[in-house]
Amino acid sequence: MELKCDECGGKLELDNARAEAVCGDCGVVFENMLTDADTNSGSSLGENRHNEAVNSGADAPGAKHGTRMNVWGDQVDAHGNRLNKATIRKFRDLARKDRATQRDTDPMYTSLMATIQEMFGADMARAVELLARATGRKLKPWQEARRRTLGSNEKRMLKCPKTAICRAGGKEHPELRGATEKDNLQIMALAIASIASKWFHTITINEKMLMESYGITQKQFVNAKKIIRQHYMARIRMKWAPQPKQLHAAAAREDEMDKAAHNLEDALASRLAEADLGTIMDAFFEAMSDIGEPSVDATTSNVPIPMVAGCVMYKVLQSMNKGKGNLNTVAKAVNCSGAGLKSRLANMEEQYNSGKFPEAETLFGSSIDEAKESSSKAESEEESEE
């Protein structure tokens, strides 16, 4: 069959070596695909196809194809009555579709990955996949059989974390879990992202800010994080999961310091004038530097850096006669109670007085003591009101 030029109607001359058709009148060149290899049909439809969308979790344990229906078609119903040909044909077609359908026996894992991607992005979801699998998927049958032979403590930690988190607290303490499935997914996603920032070197997240954004309480977050960490470490002991290369302690402490400073500044922004806040933040960073924080070699290295930051901030506020009414604000910013903050501060002052913490001269020197005396009466009134 002769091919005609689309431009002028002239006859096309075929060049199979170049897979082209050239018009003899106007010289226009057209593509002339002859085989499946030229059109990519082989790779699209053949055995080695790779162009269609696929489920990235299809090869994961727990994901399998439907096999619940008899593909050959049943001859009788549940009561033993013989089926007619139309019904047999209908359910045979359904069975074939069922065999071609991929379903996940742990659908919460898929929902968890989608939630992580929604909250933190696709890159984070890929980076934390190991933790998400351990959290949202049940053990393989042979792993479950091995778990049942272990001691009670190890057996408990190897239970599926999603079940423990979604049922935490029981009827007595429902506040330990989310009110809905979406809430539980967000709690698990936040806990996974927090753990991954130290175990898999993913981006650091501000847990406090995200907890406020998604309505997650401190109890819910701490409980989920503990369950997921214990479960994954138990998997490592059983050699069912790779050992994470944890972030260096010094780098992790610096990251926590940055988050604590950000949260303190946000918390005080609504209570102090902008000029005062700038002066206070400068004094805060100077005081932290004087005591050697953040560092794993500082005298206070055994204390969580948010707690140290809270203590230092409160002493700076006292020194500038801004401590009144801000104790609980500072404590909440670093996720502790006002009583706990004052107790830790008293411990740090005791260390200074005994000569074990000389770097704290900036905090507990004479000028600070004078400021403390001038504001002690106001703070006593504040505590009595609370």
Which tens digit of pLDDT belongs to each residue from 26-62?
Answer: 777 777 655 545 555 555 455 555 544 555 555 454 4
Q: How far apart are CA 195 and CA 175, in angstroms?
A: 22
pLDDT band for position 367 (cuts 50, 70, 90):
very low
Rounded mean pLDDT, 110-128: 91
Which tens digit of pLDDT belongs to each residue from 190-249?
Answer: 999 999 988 888 888 889 889 989 999 999 999 999 999 999 999 999 999 888 877 677
* Secondary structure, 3-state, the chain: CCCECCCCCCEEEEECCCCEEEECCCCCEEECCCCHHHHCHHHHHCCCCCCCCCCCCCCCCCEEECCCCCCCCCCECCCCCECCHHHHHHHHHHHHHHHCCEEECCHHHHHHHHHHHHHHCHHHHHHCHHHHHHHHCCCCHHHHHHHCCCCHHHHHHCCCHHHHHHCCCCCCCHHHCCCCHHHHHHHHHHHHHHHHHHHCCCCCCCHHHHHHHHCCCHHHHHHHHHHHHHHHHHHHHCCCCCCCCCCCHHHHHHHHHHHHHHHHHHHHHCCCCHHHHHHHHHHHHHHHHHCCCCCCCCCCCCCCHHHHHHHHHHHHHHHCCCCCCCHHHHHHHCCCCHHHHHHHHHHHHHHHHCCCCHHHHHHHCHHHHHHHHHHHHHHHHHHHHC
Amino acid 167: pLDDT? 92
Rounded mean pLDDT, 157-172: 91
Q: Which residue has the higher pLDDT, 303 or 79?
A: 303
Mean pLDDT in the chain?
81
Rounded mean pLDDT, 175-188: 93
pLDDT band for position 379 (cuts 50, 70, 90):
low
How close are the terminal C-alpha atoms of the chain, in Å?
95
Is a pLDDT exceeding 90 seen at residue 369? no
Amino acid 380: pLDDT? 56
Amino acid 385: pLDDT? 52
Amino acid 34: pLDDT? 58
The number of C-alpha atoms within 13 Å of 211 and in the hemisphere containing its C-beta is 18
Is a pLDDT exceeding 80 seen at residue 138? yes
Predicted model pTM: 0.63
Amino acid 185: pLDDT? 95
Amino acid 69: pLDDT? 56
Is a pLDDT exceeding 90 seen at residue 169? no
Which tens digit of pLDDT belongs to each residue from 333-350?
Answer: 888 888 999 899 999 989
**Residues in a beta bridge with 76:** 82
Is residue 292 a contact partner of residue 299, using CB atoms and an 8 Å limit? Answer: yes
Rounded mean pLDDT, 364-372: 54
Amino acid 216: pLDDT? 93
